[in-house]
């Protein structure tokens, strides 16, 4: 992986981490389009640079992280399902992490869901609190598990989970951002432990790529996160749904036509 490839993938991550379009799916597509070789490092890179984007949440919402301990308890409750399923199915998740076909299908089907989610959410009874209770936190955490499938989108799954529990679009999106912090810290730590356990040592060049990737993802995400909140409040999910259907549909058509593009 070159520095330019690392920067491009990091830009894709920063732009898409908080959008309901699947950052992991887009990074897989970007890596495949550029012909980035699948190695232990590239698999780690795709997970680890999400940490840079997530750090933007801590910077932008630092006051929320200084709230009462109940805020952290709720995040922990929502985090539990991802820990359990992540440990149980880590090998399977690694296998499908490279599958462009899985991403394409997930993008397409998820786009169809987003076309109707606004109408469905408007019919749900709204609550006035800015964050969910403990039961709702756990249910949102269960929605997050679905996003372990590449292309589903962690952001989309958890925001929909929040809407299902009566949160406003803004509150659901913000809780999704907060939940990403422990989730991505844990995912990166597990990847790092697995690499260490397998005797994999990253070279100085690879460590520099990780540093550059995280910095770029952090800076781009800082610019993207507030924009997304504004778009979500004003326009809802429909535009993202059409985008997912178009991208997923194009990929599926190319695959069915026997395209020789290097992403396949």
Each residue of 145-155: pLDDT tens digit? 988 887 888 88
pLDDT, position 77: 94
Asked if pLDDT for residue 263 goes beyond 50, the answer is no
Tell me the mean pLDDT in the region 166-181.
87
| Rounded Cα–Cα distance for residues 91 and 73 (Å) | 29
Q: Would you say the C-alpha torsion 159, 243, 34, 100 has a positive or negative sign?
A: positive
Tell me the mean pLDDT in the region 174-178.
89
Each residue of 225-256: pLDDT tens digit? 878 877 777 778 888 899 999 988 988 888 77
pLDDT, position 126: 64
For 93-98, the CB contacts below 8 A with 24+ separation are 93/148, 94/43, 96/149, 96/150, 97/24, 97/28, 97/43, 97/46, 97/150, 98/28, 98/38, 98/43
Q: How many alpha carbons fall within 13 Å on the CB side of residue 86? A: 20
- Whether the CB-CB separation of 200 and 40 falls below 8 Å is answered with yes
| Rounded Cα–Cα distance for residues 151 and 139 (Å) | 21
Each residue of 57-73: pLDDT tens digit? 889 888 888 877 888 99
pLDDT, position 124: 67
- Burial label, 202 (beta-carbon count in 10 A; 0-12, 13-18, 19+): middle
């Amino acid at each position: 992986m070159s520095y330019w490839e690392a920067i491009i993938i990091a830009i894709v991550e920063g732009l898409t981490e908080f959008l309901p379009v699947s950052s992991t799916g887009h990074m897989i597509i970007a890596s495949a389009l550029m012909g980035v070789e699948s190695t232990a490092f590239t698999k780690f890179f795709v997970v680890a640079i999400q940490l840079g984007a997530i750090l933007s949440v801590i910077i932008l919402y630092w006051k929320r992280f200084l709230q009462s301990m109940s805020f952290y308890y709720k995040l922990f409750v929502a985090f539990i399902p991802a820990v359990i399923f992540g440990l149980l199915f880590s090998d399977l998740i690694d296998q499908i992490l490279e599958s462009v076909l899985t991403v394409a299908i997930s993008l397409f089907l998820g786009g169809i869901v987003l076309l109707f989610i606004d109408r469905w959410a408007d019919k749900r009874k709204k609550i006035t609190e800015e964050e969910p209770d403990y039961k709702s936190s756990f249910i949102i955490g269960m929605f997050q598990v679905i996003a372990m499938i590449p292309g589903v989108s962690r952001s989309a799954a958890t925001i929909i989970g929040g809407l299902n529990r009566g949160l406003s679009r803004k509150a659901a999106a913000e809780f999704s951002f907060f939940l990403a912090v422990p989730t991505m810290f844990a995912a990166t730590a597990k990847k790092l432990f697995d690499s260490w356990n397998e005797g994999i040592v990253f070279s100085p060049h690879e460590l520099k790529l990780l540093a550059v990737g995280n910095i770029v993802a952090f800076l781009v995400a800082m610019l993207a996160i507030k924009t997304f909140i504004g778009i979500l409040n004003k326009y809802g999910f429909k535009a993202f749904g059409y985008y997912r259907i178009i991208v997923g549909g194009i990929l599926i058509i190319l695959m069915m036509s026997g395209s020789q593009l290097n992403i396949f």
